[in-house]
């Protein structure tokens, strides 16, 4: 059992939790993930390690409430416990030797992008962060990104916060201003990562994306998280989650990602109904 020591609502659909997990905190690195079960009968879901504190022995997760399990998880409070919390899993993000990087985050993907930007900053890398949201009410981690970025661009679709436009608009502007990036790291919705990669390919800039497909066991055995990368089948849980964005088949990934959307919505509604009237 893993105790929740902090819970913070970041926006109406996104929640942060800090969880006591000293063995995971000791080994975790940016880019890796954990798999949890809310209760003994619950499903296993992967969540990226958003931060960690080795001294306190805690791991921070940030999740969007989209299905039954995240709905159940969101009903837990500080002092309560998560049944299973396993990790760190996956391959840590490569940051060694990078001198100047653009980190692009979209929506809740910023929770994955932030620890990478933080590690790059702490290693002396020049970090240009570009983060995008639909509107100001959905903005998360703005202060955190500001603290680890040499350049920070906040974008919103409707212009209600920062600059109106897409993350690709800001990235193109920075590239055309003469910035030479060793690498672009893009994390967010598949459609966002696809168009970031389309842009960077024009300028021949290496681009790494973090993939989050359907995942079950997290050990490469089930094959649920398979992707096509450079014409080959890869498994996000053991080969990733980071991949060369110019080689990822995003159209296939987007099609697979919507396979269980209606089922997911239905199961969340069932959970919501269980909590109706419960104080």
Helices (H), 95-189: 110-122, 142-147, 167-176
Q: Which domains does the chain have, with CATH numbers?
A: 2-89 (2.40.30.10), 100-210 (3.40.50.80)
Distances (CA, A) of 131 to 44, 60, 108, 279: 29, 20, 10, 36
Q: What are 40's strand-pairing partners? A: none
Choose between 115 and 224: higher pLDDT.
115
Which of 216, 221, 227, 223 lies closest to 255, judged by CA? 227
pLDDT band at residue 67 using 50, 70 and 90 as cut-offs: confident
| Contact indicator for 131, 145 with CB cutoff of 8 Å | yes
Dump pLDDT digits (tens) for 221-259. Answer: 888 889 999 999 999 889 989 999 999 999 999 888 776
CA–chain centroid gap for 278, Å, is: 31
3-state secondary structure of 150: coil
CA–chain centroid gap for 30, Å, is: 10
Which of 159, 101, 152 lies closest to 126, judged by CA? 101
């Amino acid at each position: 059992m893993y105790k929740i020591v902090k819970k913070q609502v970041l926006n109406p659909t996104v929640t942060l939790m800090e969880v006591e997990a000293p063995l995971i905190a000791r080994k975790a690195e940016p880019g890796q993930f954990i798999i949890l079960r809310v209760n003994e009968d619950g499903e296993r879901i992967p969540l990226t390690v958003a931060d960690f504190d080795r001294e306190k022995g805690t791991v921070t997760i940030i999740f969007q409430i989209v299905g039954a399990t995240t709905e159940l998880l969101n009903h837990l409070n500080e002092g309560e416990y998560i049944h299973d919390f396993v990790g760190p899993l996956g391959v840590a993000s490569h940051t060694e030797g990078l001198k100047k990087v653009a980190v692009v985050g979209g929506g809740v993907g910023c929770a994955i992008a932030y620890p990478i930007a933080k590690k790059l900053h702490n290693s002396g890398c020049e970090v240009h962060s570009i983060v995008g949201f639909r509107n100001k009410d959905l903005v998360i981690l703005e202060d955190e990104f500001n603290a680890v970025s040499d350049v920070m661009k906040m974008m919103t679709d409707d212009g209600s916060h920062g600059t109106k436009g897409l993350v690709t608009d800001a990235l193109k502007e920075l590239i055309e201003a003469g910035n030479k990036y060793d690498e672009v790291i893009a994390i967010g919705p598949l459609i966002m990562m696809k168009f970031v990669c389309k842009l960077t390919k024009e300028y021949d800039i290496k681009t790494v994306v973090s993939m989050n497909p359907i995942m079950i066991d997290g050990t490469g055995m089930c094959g649920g998280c398979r992707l096509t990368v450079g014409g080959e089948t890869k498994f996000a849980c053991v080969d990733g989650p980071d991949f060369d964005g110019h080689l990822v088949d995003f159209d296939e990934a987007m099609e697979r990602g919507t396979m269980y959307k209606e089922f997911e919505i239905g199961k969340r509604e069932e959970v919501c109904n269980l909590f109706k009237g419960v104080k």
